[in-house]
């Protein structure tokens, strides 16, 4: 795609001409956006002055941090690891409003990042902002703000640093193409999009650490089954969420447990989406494994709504 390779060439020059020296901090997550953004800047100004940081907010999926470290290393990115999970999870406990959770996460994330910026005396910060984030977070003539994505405008006013946003003009499918052009490892290329605030936006109703831990287990089962059946790589996203509540019987006992909602979607760019329902035997396997293996999950549902009107993440 010519547009993407032209954009890449343009961005390399653009960054070279804007860069006035000093250190550049980059928050990486192991996802495609932050990896490609960091890679481009390293390519433009050399990797010596780029400091990648992986901030662990405790809202990643099972094994995700370990896998991300390995994949990033393959792309030549070796981040400083900061485990801030306890701080994030303590602040989130009991918060019902999802927008408030996004705000808490965005602010604490910025605080943690700022500590690194100050310590390293950095002059620039790389943001993996992509074009749909710009549209969906901004209030335009036509639409109200839909969701406050935490990697956009999430940088508070007190943040006194120049921002480099190499992906600001690209859609997700174009970032995938760019990633292919520059040779990003396939493990990163094939990953599903994952929101900056992580599993916090997949907990419906009150945020509790109990729900988070149940969700992590159910999420792993869903994705393990989808991978084993060869379905995972054909999907845009597999979004597993948890909500209240459904009465179950386990053994002879009545148990008021939680619902796991599985939202599998196909999409080109995340702006619109179709739902995907797996074959019955796969639905059965996912459902049965979750209710059998994850204590306190008493029901599993599959979401059969397109976007619009239903956004991909529940909140
Ligand atoms: P929605 O839920 O708005 O999601 O239909 C569209 C796409 O954006 C992802 N998403 C986010 N990505 N930070 C991100 O980096 C966020 O806060 C965020 N919220 C949603 C979502 O996973 C989907 O691919």
The ipTM value here is 0.98
Residues 26 and 34 sit within 8 Å (Cβ to Cβ): yes
Cis peptide before 309 (omega within 30 of 0): yes
Distance in Å, CA 91 to ligand 1 centroid? 22
Task: Report CA(35)–ligand 1 centroid distance (Å).
Answer: 17
In sequence order, the 6+-apart residues with CB closer than 8 A to the CB of 303 are 261, 262, 263, 275, 310
Atom of ligand 1 nearest to the CA of 192: 24
Cβ(150) to ligand 1 under 6 A? yes
Sign of torsion over alpha carbons 167, 172, 177, 182: positive
pLDDT score, position 144: 43
Show the tokens assigned to 308: 């619009």
pLDDT the model gives residue 103: 94
Q: Is 195 in the pocket of ligand 1 (CB under 6 A)?
A: yes
45-50 long-range contacts, Cβ below 8 Å, gap at least 24? 45/15, 45/16, 45/19, 47/76, 49/21, 49/22, 49/23, 49/24, 50/23, 50/24, 50/26, 50/126
Taking CA atoms only, the protein residue closest to ligand 1 atom 11 is: 195
Atom of ligand 1 nearest to the CA of 237: 24
Q: Does the CB atom of residue 257 touch ligand 1 within 6 A?
A: no
Counting from 1 in the atom list of ligand 1, the atom nearest the Cα of 102 is 17
Report residues of the chain scoring pLDDT below 70: 136-158
- Distance between Cα 119 and ligand 1 center (Å): 31
197 lines ligand 1 (CB under 6 A): yes
Q: Which pLDDT value is given to residue 140?
A: 40
Nearest 5°: the CA angle 287, 288, 289 is: 95
Ligand 1 within 6 A of CB of 154:
no
Q: Does 298 contact ligand 1 (Cβ within 6 A)?
A: no
Looking from the CA of residue 130, the nearest atom of ligand 1 is 15
Is the distance from the beta carbon of residue 191 to the nearest atom of ligand 1 less than 6 Å? no
Which sign does the torsion angle of CA 227, 229, 232, 237 carry? negative
Q: What is the distance between the alpha carbons of residues 226 and 188, in angstroms, rounded to a whole number?
A: 18
- Ligand 1 centroid – CA 37 distance (Å): 17
Q: Please report the pLDDT score of residue 138 as a whole number.
A: 56
Task: Classify residue 62 by burial, with Cβ atoms within 10 Å: 0-12, 13-18, 19+.
Answer: middle
Residue found by looking up tokens 């860069």 in the block: 19
**So what's the pLDDT on residue 38?**
98
> Looking at residue 252, what is its pLDDT?
85
């Amino acid at each position: 795609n010519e547009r993407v390779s032209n954009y890449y060439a343009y961005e390399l020059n653009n960054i070279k001409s804007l860069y006035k020296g000093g250190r550049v901090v980059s928050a990486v997550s192991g996802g495609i956006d932050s990896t490609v953004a960091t890679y481009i800047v390293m390519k433009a100004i050399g990797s010596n002055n780029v400091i990648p940081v992986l901030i662990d907010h405790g809202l990643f999926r099972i094994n995700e941090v370990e896998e991300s470290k390995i994949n990033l290393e393959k792309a030549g990115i070796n981040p400083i690891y900061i485990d801030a999970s306890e701080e994030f999870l303590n602040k989130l406990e009991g918060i019902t409003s999802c927008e408030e959770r996004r705000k808490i996460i965005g602010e604490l994330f910025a605080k943690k990042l700022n500590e690194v910026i100050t310590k390293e005396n950095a002059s620039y910060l790389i943001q993996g902002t992509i074009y749909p984030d710009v549209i969906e977070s901004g209030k335009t003539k036509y639409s109200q703000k839909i969701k406050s994505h935490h990697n956009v405008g999430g940088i508070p006013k007190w943040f006194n640093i120049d921002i480099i946003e190499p992906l600001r003009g690209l859609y997700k499918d174009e970032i995938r193409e760019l990633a292919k052009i520059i040779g990003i490892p396939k493990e990163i290329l094939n990953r599903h999009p994952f929101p900056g605030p992580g599993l916090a936006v997949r907990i419906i109703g009150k945020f509790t650490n109990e729900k988070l831990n149940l969700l992590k287990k159910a999420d792993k089962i869903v994705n393990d089954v989808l991978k084993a059946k060869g379905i995972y790589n054909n999907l845009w996203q597999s979004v597993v969420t948890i909500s209240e509540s459904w009465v179950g019987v386990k053994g002879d006992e009545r148990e008021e447990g939680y619902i796991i909602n599985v939202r599998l979607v196909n999409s080109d760019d995340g702006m619109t989406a179709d739902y995907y329902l797996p074959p019955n035997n796969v639905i059965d396997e996912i459902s049965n494994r979750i209710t059998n293996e994850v204590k306190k999950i008493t029901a599993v549902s599959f979401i059969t709504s397109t976007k619009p009107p239903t956004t991909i993440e529940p909140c």
